[in-house]
Chains A and B, each alone.
Chain A
Amino acid sequence: MAEPIKLSIDGKPVTVPPGTLLIEAAKQVGIEVPSFCYYPGLSLQGACRMCLVAIEKMPKLQTACTTVVTNGMVVHTDTPEVANTRKSMLEFLLTNHPLDCPVCDKGGECELQDAVFRYGAAETRFLEGKLHEEEKKFSNLVYYDRPRCILCFRCIRVCDEGMDVNAYGIGFRAAHSEIIPNRGEQLECEECGMCIDICPVGALTSGTYRYKTRPWEVTYTGTICNHCGDGCRTTLSVRNNVVIRANNRDHSGLNGEFLCVKGRFGWDFVNSERRLKSPLLRKNGKQEEASWEEALTFTVERLKTILAEHGPGAVAVIGSNRTTNEEDYLLQRFARTVLGTNDIDHHRTADFSSLVRALTEAGATDRYATIEDISAAKSLLLIGNDPTHQHPLIAYQIRQAVRQHGARLYIVNSREIKLRRQSSQYLQVKPQGEAEAVRALAGQAPAAQDLCAGGTGALTALADALKKESDTVILFGDEIQGQTVNDLVTCGLTLPGKTRFVALGDYANSRGAADMGLLPDTLPGYQPLSNEKARERMESAWAAKIPAAPGRNIRSIFEGIRAGEIKALLVFGANPVKTFGLDNAALTGLQLLFVAELFRTETAELANVVVPAASFAEKSGTVTNTCGEVQALKRTMRQAGTRSDLEILLALARLFGQRWTYQSPEDVLREIIALVPGYDIPLPSLLVGRAVPTHPEGRPPALERPDLVFSSRDSLFTSGTLSRYSWALNSVDEAKKPYGHAF
């Protein structure tokens, strides 16, 4: 480490590492230097001139945001000269900035408003009229008001450097300068809305939030986004039980200020008019509204009849990729102990089980990478998947790693994904060739000549380059599954340094569903059902018997229904008819189809009983992101008529005569912490909003068949069922572009 730099700011001694900017050094000792164009993590601009400070032995005032500290520097931020300069700068900024704060959406959380309030310039000497221009609509989600813009260029930089989209440029000159979309009149971009959030004034406003309310009128609750598997923290602004806005207001959580289009705008399905508000019960072939009691009693009576007539083998359960860990845990407990069946599965979007098994067998369960590890990595290997679309935060973190500290990115993919722009080596393989490439890299099987465009030489070059790296983070999608995961882990662990791994699953709790044992052959914490000790441990905790034979996987469940062996199917928060492309006849053999859902999906339409479930904004609990980090959801609002899956399960169990003692999701979480291997997480950390990494350890059985693990390949603008009910996600033109389109 280089010697730290010592300087003094307003008489206070400061010690910082070399290379620190003066504005950051001042922040460390609690001295505020106002600035608009400076933003941590973005390139330096020096455009707003707000941060001018006096440095001894320098003839003029200097911009603190571009000055690097040096030893013995003596800085003053409290001289009359500095105060006067700030006042004058604000006066200049206000020459054309309209004073429409009462109308402006930013009023109350505006950096310019705050600065004027603190540093003056309430009186102006300019008597000329202000330049006025009409507001421009860049897209359905982004509006631009030229007169309010103070030309700090934060939006341009965050779009270029943070998002690698480069949607904005600067047009015209001097006082007429303005922000313009780079591609035509309309914005053509990922619609992430980072520019809106980063704008220090109200120049860029959100199409969903504008003119709806004021920032002090809403309640803010930090919770976790329910779309992809990255687990971004998002602050929901709620007024009168209606979500109005989402942003990561306090930059907390593993995503900092980042949110993608789904996180920032895609929550509006919660407010959808088409949400189910009342249970539906099929009477005389038609679904009719019924009371909760009626619907649940009917379900339990029908289940009891089927169990009595055909035994537990006639009942199957399908779980969700979005419900909380607590709900998933209770669901499998319900299936295994109350219904007595192991026929429980979910739509697996990545092969987490194989990763856990491979790492456990290699004795390397400390090698699960976290989101933070990705942005801090020196070297990254990405195999398959398209993070820009499927994992926007991970794509952002990869770009940050490359841009901020020169990490090398190696990509193996059959498609030309956008991240190849950041890659040091990009190996394009033939379609579905990712697994073959991994086997070849691991030395398990020689690569076919036509595997990649540059012949096998490119593969060798990649292997050689990786051997020179250390502490590589390896990310892989659903292309790598089963034995290939094992090969990849074995090969990865031979690389220098501490190699870490991430399996990329699709949805908010895809990882949690696997962790909590929504699998036919695996108990919570990846303990195989065949492991007698693990089974007995759960049996004694639950005071009930668990059937020892592994159940049917999701494909066998469908086959069982077709063959007439399965008479009842319970579906919680999933839409298998759409996901698995089932035809209408596939489920007609059922005597009972029970669906807990937010909307009347294709599956729900076929059901005998549909109950309205609560969305992520209406319940508490925990979710686990694709890296295995557990985070807490916080209830932000209520939706009349709905119940959380947890409440539904507790009610069903009660009707079955079970005496479960859970009062709240926390009670279930305490049991998970005590019982599930790898989940012994500290509760206080979780409750203060941290992402707590888990290190599951277990030897789950091998993957039965390859068509069990597949990703939905959601784009930036789709998210399974939920995105279909979001106005914002469907309103942008970019959503109509073909999948994989790079901006």
Chain B
Amino acid sequence: MSDKKARLRAIFVEEAGEIIEDLDLKIINFEETPDDKDILNDIFRGIHTLKGSANSFGFTRLGEYVHHFEDVLDYYRTDGTEISKDVIDLFLDSVDVVKEMLQLEIDESDGFPEKYDDTLSSIRDIISNKDTNVAEVENTIDLSDEFSNESFDSVDSTVVIGVDESYLLAQCQNGEKLYKVELLFEDDSFTRGLDHANFLNILGQNGRVLSTSWDFTNVPSLEAFEFRKNYIRNILIYIASSEPIEELQDIFEFTEEQEWTLVEIEQGDKKEKIVAVEAPKESKEEEVIEKKEIKEEKQEEAKDEVKEEVKKTQPTKRSFVKIDTEKLDDLFDSVGELVISQNFLMENEAVKQLEDVDLKRNLETLYKITRLIQTRVMGLRMVPIRDTFEKMKRVVRDVNKKTGKDADLILSGEDTEIDKTMIDKLADPLIHVIRNALDHGLESDKEQRIKAGKSIKGKVHLKAYHQGGNIVIEVKDDGRGIDPEKILTKAMERGLVTEVEGANLTDKQIFQFIMHAGFSTAEKVTDLSGRGVGLDVVKSFLETMRGKVEINSKMGEGSSFKIMLPLTLAIIDGMLVRTSGEIMIIPTLSIVESFRPLKNSIHTAKGEGEYVKLRDELLPIVRLNHILGISDERVEISEATLVSVENKNGKFAILVDELIGRQQVVVKSLGKALAGIKEVTGGAVLGNGDIALILNVDELHTDMV
């Protein structure tokens, strides 16, 4: 495959993925507002676009299936028949098939998706039902209106489907130009000896016909069909040709001026340009003037339509550019370097002692601008969490269907922005948490809910918000709650904790056991949850994203999973600490508090290590210099500073020589040589040029507290 073709294929795959991603959500939204036919038309348009593009790129299995899916959508949108829950199920299943089929096509694998036969058969049943009622299903919706605001193209009343001009332009070779020809023959064209096929064949002799779009809107059924009457409203032809435009214009020498148009398409052409019609030939003066007037009138109308379409498709004047995230990452790295250089400058002793007020002011301005650039570049990676949240509606619907439960998903904070890298990985863990909430959290028996004074319908709240410089994503259900006793018993059975240790654990700490791989107290394993795998996915996600989860639950009232994530992965908010002369960074997300211990609060248990009593809690002390192998030095605990941190196993105290201060640092990955050190997750360059390691709090203390 040539580079160009591979690039175009990649663009198609990406765009097809975007169309398919949206379909689920649109179908669910349509189910919620069945009177809003615009949504159904929108779904139809997405599928239609997919069909044209899939076939163009040789994804014929996908194209074929999508064609049938389009048929059934078209049936419902034109027929007006009420769409039942079963039909919505069919639509959603069909979207699943489309998703899987696209993947099979990408992988060039044989075979068909699991639901392929069932969905196709259901679609065919619906369509055959339509056939028997064909008289009633006269198409009343004009597709030219439907497609008037398609992103691809639009000329007058022409229906242009699945034609991507940029793709066609890319197919032009060796000085070929791309021309667009429109044939608009009158009803009597065949009797006048004008046949579209002849013109197509002559055009084919002058270049390569790349695409033709035939509008059969006016073709009637056989009963009303008059032989030799032209029903073809128009044909749009794209041809790649080395011939100048005048040569091609000559082909239409013997046709009426209004029966054809010919324009050259250039890179970056906009709709306004495309509707401009060439006035190609000399003719009788008066006739020309009259026709020109008609044409100009038509053009004006067309321009108005286009403007109207542009208005429709662009509700605001905002415009967007698609950027490869790798380029964004590169930009972010460069800005990171800029910030570091800026910090060098500000920390420089000579600069600090500057007495020139103007220079100092200029440096201050430079500092502010650098920070502004950093904030803005960071903002480029931030996207609203809305799409990910909306996808969960499908999850809830599917689980409701499978479990026979009835629950509503209530969303809030969908506009909260989160790093794009995290959003891409958030969907899977979120699905697991929501499935768990529905499958295990909500009561199976409606009577139980009524008895507990709850509504029959369960509620799952999914919300996102900012808290202390972090993003919190919370899944809260109003179900039966988690039984800490049951969890603790299971944890002891599995040897995760001893009876003695267990007795001192808080409910919050006990709930953390459910995040262990394979941990499940479910009495029955369903295909949704119960194997203890799901929350393990959440755990892995949190480890990668430097996040943490807080589980709260009250028996009979429900549970909540608070997933706390840093704002971005590229920058970390950290506390700089010094130990044995080395500077380390503790992510502030893990820090609870820092304090200087009193002598009488320090305890040593033989063979068990050192502890500090903080209020009612006994926290193990981790000497950073020892655990990282920096030095054997043993400072007096009462003379050092302790930073209380919390990880999945509970709280503990990190002993450091001093706290330097809180700072946002750009995270740099460690080289291969240091990648094996599990106690650190990365490095950062400080203002004075020193490198500081970022600590992995999860690995500093792995024993259950």
A and B interact physically:
no
